[in-house]
Amino acid sequence: MSFKSLLNKFDKKFIFFDGAMGTMLQKYGLQVGQLPEVFNVTNPETIKKIHRQYLQAGSDIIIANTFGANELKYNFSSYTIKDVITAGVKIAKEEAGDKLVALDIGPTGQIMEPTGSLSFQSAYKLFKNQVVIGEKAGADIILIETMSDLYEAKAAVLAAKENSSLPIFCTMTFQQDGRTLMGTDPKTMVFTLEALGVDVLGVNCSLGPGELQGIVDEILKYASIPVMVQPNAGLPRYDGKNTIYDITPEEFSKNILLMAKKGVRIFGGCCGTNPEFIKTIIGELKDVLPREVREKNYTAVCSSTDTVFLGNEIKIIGERINPTGQETYKKELREGKVNYIKKEAMAQKSEGAHILGLNVGLPEIDEVKMMEKAIKAVQQVIQLPVNIDSPNSKVLEAGARIYNGKPIINSVNGRKKSMEEVFPIVKKYGGCVVALTIDEEGIPDSAEGRVKIAEKIIKTAACYGISKKDIIVDCLTLTVSAQQKEVMETIKAVKLVKEKFGVKTILGVSNISYGLPRRCILNRTFLALALNAGLDLPIINTQDQGVKDIIAAFEVLTSIDQDGKNYITKYGSKSKSEKAKWGDNILPEVQKKDKKGEKKLNTAIIEGMEDEAVEITSLLLKSEKEEDIVNFHIIPALDEVGRQYEEGDIFLPQLIQSAEAVKKSFEIIKKNILKNGEKNIEKGKIALATVKGDIHDIGKNIVKVLLQNYGFEVIDLGRDVDIDKIVDVVKKNNIKLLGLSALMTTTVINMKKTIEAVRENKLTCKIVVGGAVLNQNYADMIGADYYARDAREAVKIAEKIFSV
Ligand code: B1M
């Protein structure tokens, strides 16, 4: 069924999905650790019963029990995903009658590259398999849901789009801070998923319907397609044994009614809901008419976490990741390296770029591969949208496919061949596209000629289903030294294009001054002229402060910057935070104060630059003690990273990236410590673990290496360690000293439980605890024998215990 016919079926009506499957299955006997989809084969009657109850409650679409049926999870099961998906869809179809069945696709359960280890291509393959099996089994719709990683959602949407013709619904899961676990905010989700061509988007799971209202408002504000919401039955809480969902169907429905009045078209329930919830919301909405879905007129591009709107304020594109005239960059491109790209990305961001230009064009390299690598590298270190710049459509496609978010695709031009190649890419992956006013006849001298080409491109784009709001016209900056008369034609063309078509405009500013002295004077003046003509997106060198000053002044003079607020913030104060905003003071204070060399290791860790962290650590080891490098370089850097994370300046992927840099740096430190250590002395055996629920192990690993260095044998149980396992190891190895580490307020309780379990088992070992969240008081409270502030103190305690 096409999405259009599906919508026709529900003309002027709300669409109701069903509610939870997982929590219902638990009620019907699903055990912890059991794969829910296996019930499709082993207990089909139970699944049918649940579907039937939802259909009786009034659901228009029921969701097949296939949420987690991917090959990663079914690796060790005796059932294949083909068995469970086919059975799941068929059971649902049998029950559904004239109602519809959605193939349910949930997250893979693994973290995607570059943060984790699952590649985009591997995720795509997993989803493709599910889609193919599900469609063959008879699903009517594909529902991609509970996604907390936009990148994973993109892999799933592409898999659905490229391997089936079914309508695609996609919903993501948000946390209380209004972002997904990987940091995506609602508008970034909307622009990216819409650009990818999903039919319906929205939010599921996450929170209760009350807590979701703000997120739903944000989604509705930007979405031009139908919005779907499937909340949990309230905020989940844990009572020590079970997860509890508190709210009643009535309370749930009141919030659903609010959402319906605001414009949500499609409803259902997630964790904790049951047929009663669905019945009650249907009753609540029976006299309400759905609001019409309206096309919104925003032009926006996104990284995976942030959206940049084009149009109102001037948005700067950083120009320096371009091989033209950059010998170091060219050399790195030939060697397949990305250090220059990462450094430049971060530098241009701190200099005020809103979007990052990315060009990897060298004739002697494999540009397609390099563009993929470059995009991953950029998205690993900064959260700015990217302008993927290449005249080669294959490179554009590779970039657009691997990109996480909604990019600028630069460029198409008025030649038939170019439009035939580039527009399908824009349509398939989504993006704003730069339209160069050049065609088979070359660049017209006159402004009018360029406007004509712009018109042709805009009209042709419409035939591919690409909206005018996603087209950014480039009227082409010609070099004043060679084509002086055409300079003002470019300015005129910008003005005409804006007036006639109302599209956004872009210009590479620095082209204007090639071959002349004091280029910045010409660049700045040309920029001022172009801004006045209606330029939205100047591509500039962000190091040129004069260019940025002109933009700030222009925005005040034209009332874009109302009451000159931004201008005053930038130029009127010397306070620390404002200087930081302006880019004068980007590095955190902690890095500035330190001794020689330290600033760099801090920076490398904060920026997550693994190679640099390794390089600098090796250098530091020549002049500083290992312990000092940890205490005065690594820990302050991680503290800064933690602070930025807490304040929402960075998100989980960057936090992980910094931890990776520390891991690499610490590997060298560890080698050094062990090389210089007293390996031959055997002082005693110590067991170490990070407690259950806690995966932080950097601190524990430092403690381990230092203890080994002082001649102790360490049994390292790792992180997130089961209490039983710890007890077992202590017992079997006759351990005299047990060390426990915990970094989160939420896991200290497991430290307490571990200590209690050790005591209950009548084990006499001493227990030392550590970790940033602890102090002596806390250690006493939870019954530990010792508290160690740092690794050195842990060694002192061990020496004391084993000397007795
Ligand atoms: Co997370 N994390 N993290 N994190 N992380 C913290 C701890 C946090 C304070 C950040 C923040 O919000 N400001 C916060 C906890 C908040 C709280 O509990 N109140 C937090 C959070 C919330 C999370 C997640 C929930 C994020 C998410 O998923 N949304 C998630 C948790 C997952 C889980 O555990 N279930 C998470 C994940 C991660 C990463 C995976 C990305 C990464 C860990 C990588 C790894 O360890 N392999 C990470 C990191 C790096 C941090 C920060 C930035 C740094 C921690 C660290 O390694 N410090 C941290 C913020 C911070 O602490 N500034 C943060 C350096 C290390 C050397 O210090 O471990 O204290 P520390 O060890 C010291 C001493 O304490 C002592 O000696 C060591 C050396 O001197 N010590 C012992 C430690 N253990 C000892 C044992 C001993 C003796 C001494 O005897 C046995």
Q: Supply the pLDDT for residue 409.
A: 98
Residue 428 alpha carbon to ligand 1 centre in Å: 41
Look at residue 594 and tell me whether its pLDDT is greater than 50.
no
Q: Using an 8 Å Cβ cutoff, are 134 and 85 in contact? A: yes
The pLDDT score that the predictor gives to residue 584 is 42
Of 649, 652, 655, best ligand 1 pocket probe by most atoms within 8 Å of the beta carbon: 655
678 pLDDT band, cuts 50/70/90, is low
Give the span between the Cα atoms of 112 and 36, in whole angstroms. Answer: 24
What is the percentage of the chain residues whose pLDDT exceeds 90?
75
Q: Is the pLDDT of residue 581 over 70?
A: no
In ligand 1, which atom is closest to the CA atom of 742?
Answer: 84
Residue 271 assigned ligand-binding role: yes
The structural domains of the chain, ordered by start, are 3-284 (3.20.20.330), 300-543 (3.20.20.20), 588-676 (1.10.1240.10), 685-802 (3.40.50.280)
Q: Taking 50 as the threshold, does the pLDDT of residue 189 lie above it?
A: yes
pLDDT digits (tens, 9 = 90+) for 376-413: 999 999 999 999 999 999 999 999 999 999 999 999 99
By alpha-carbon position, which residue is closest to atom 73 of ligand 1? 699
Question: Would you tell me how many other CB atoms lie within 10 Å of the CB of residue 653?
Answer: 25
Q: In the predicted model, is pLDDT for residue 178 greater than 60? A: yes
Query: Is the CB of 698 within 6 Å of ligand 1?
Result: yes
| Residue 138 Ramachandran class (φ > 0 left, ψ -120 to 50 alpha, else beta) | left
Question: What's the whole-number average pLDDT of the chain?
Answer: 92
User: Cα–Cα distance between 797 and 803 in angstroms, integer?
Assistant: 10
pLDDT at position 249 over 60: yes
Residue 763 has a pLDDT of 95
Quick check: 240 pLDDT over 70?
no
Q: Residue 711 Cα, ligand 1 centroid: separation in angstroms?
A: 27
636 cis-preceded (ω within 30 degrees of 0): no
Q: pLDDT (tens digit, 9 = 90+) per residue, 200-217?
A: 999 999 888 999 999 999
Known binding residue 205? Answer is yes
- Mean pLDDT over 17-24 rounds to 93
What digits encode the pLDDT tens for the residues 761-784?
999 999 999 998 899 999 999 999
Most confidently modeled range among 203-207, 256-260, 612-616? 256-260
Helix (H) or strand (E) holding 231: strand 227-231
Say if CB 63 and CB 47 are below 8 A apart: no
Distance, in Å, from the CA atom of 296 to the CA atom of 198, rounded to the nearest integer, reads 16
Does residue 303 contact residue 383 with C-beta atoms inside 8 Å? yes
569 pLDDT higher than 90: no
Helices and strands in the chain, H and E counts: 33, 25
pLDDT at 481 over 70: yes
Provide the pLDDT for residue 291.
Answer: 95
Q: How confident is the model at residue 593 (pLDDT cuts 50, 70, 90)?
A: very low
Q: What pLDDT digit, counting tens, does each position of 450-475 carry?
A: 999 999 999 999 999 999 999 999 99
Confidence label for 21 from pLDDT (cuts 50, 70 and 90): very high
Kindly indicate the confidence band of residue 282, based on its pLDDT and cuts at 50, 70 and 90: very high
749 lines ligand 1 (CB under 6 A): no
The answer to whether the CB of 703 is under 6 A from ligand 1 is yes
Task: Tell whether the model's pLDDT for residue 342 goes beyond 50.
Answer: yes
Calculate how far, in angstroms, residue 734's C-alpha sits from the geometric centre of ligand 1: 29
pLDDT of res. 589? 39
- In the predicted model, what is the mean pLDDT of residues 506-531? 95
Q: What tens digit of pLDDT does each residue of 39-66 get?
A: 999 999 999 999 999 999 999 999 999 9
Global pTM? Answer: 0.77
Please work out whether the CB of residue 694 comes within 6 Å of at least one atom of ligand 1.
yes
Please check the confidence at residue 595 and state whether its pLDDT lies above 80: no
The percent of residues in the chain predicted with pLDDT above 70, rounded, is 95
Task: Kindly report, residue by residue over 716-760, the tens digit of the pLDDT.
Answer: 999 999 999 999 999 999 999 999 999 998 899 999 999 999 999
> Is the per-residue pLDDT at 102 higher than 50?
yes
**Confidence bin at 677 (pLDDT 50/70/90):** low
Local confidence band at 679 (pLDDT 50, 70, 90 cut-offs): low
The answer to whether 88 and 64 have CB atoms below 8 angstroms apart is yes
When pLDDT is averaged across residues 122-127 and rounded to a whole number, the result is 97
Contact 94, 69 (CB under 8 A): no
Closest Cα to atom 23 of ligand 1: 744
Q: Given a cut of 90, is residue 299 above it in pLDDT?
A: yes
Tokens of 160: 């659905």
**Closest-CA residue to 750 (of 705, 696, 669, 683):** 696
Distance of CA 639 from the midpoint of ligand 1 (Å): 9
Pick the residue whose CA is nearest to atom 68 on ligand 1. Answer: 699
Q: What is the pLDDT of residue 1?
A: 65
Q: Give the Å distance between the CA of 785 and the centre of ligand 1.
A: 22
Q: Give residue 710's pLDDT.
A: 80
Counting Cα atoms < 13 Å in the Cβ hemisphere of 635 gives 15
Within 10 angstroms of residue 175's Cβ, the number of other Cβ atoms is: 14
**Residue with CA closest to ligand 1 atom 77:** 790
